[in-house]
Amino acid sequence: MTRKQKRLAVIAGGMGFILAAVLLVMFAFSQSVAYFYMPAGCGRRRRPAR
């Protein structure tokens, strides 16, 4: 492999690794991530019982 091919392989591998990590995080948090809370909804949320 030439130097350029090695560099491209490392970049492609790194991007693949990052993509896999992002997909795993999104899958893990798919049900529990809230991207935005309305101000009125913050007061109505359940509070944990002590």
Q: CB of 1 within 8 A of CB of 9?
A: yes
- Across the range 39-43, mean pLDDT stands at 66
- Across the range 40-50, mean pLDDT stands at 62
Give the C-alpha separation, 25 to 19, whole Å.
10
The predicted pLDDT at position 34 comes to 63
Give the C-alpha separation, 4 to 1, whole Å.
8
Give the C-alpha separation, 39 to 12, whole Å.
42
pLDDT in tens, 2-35: 999 999 999 999 999 999 999 998 888 776 666 6
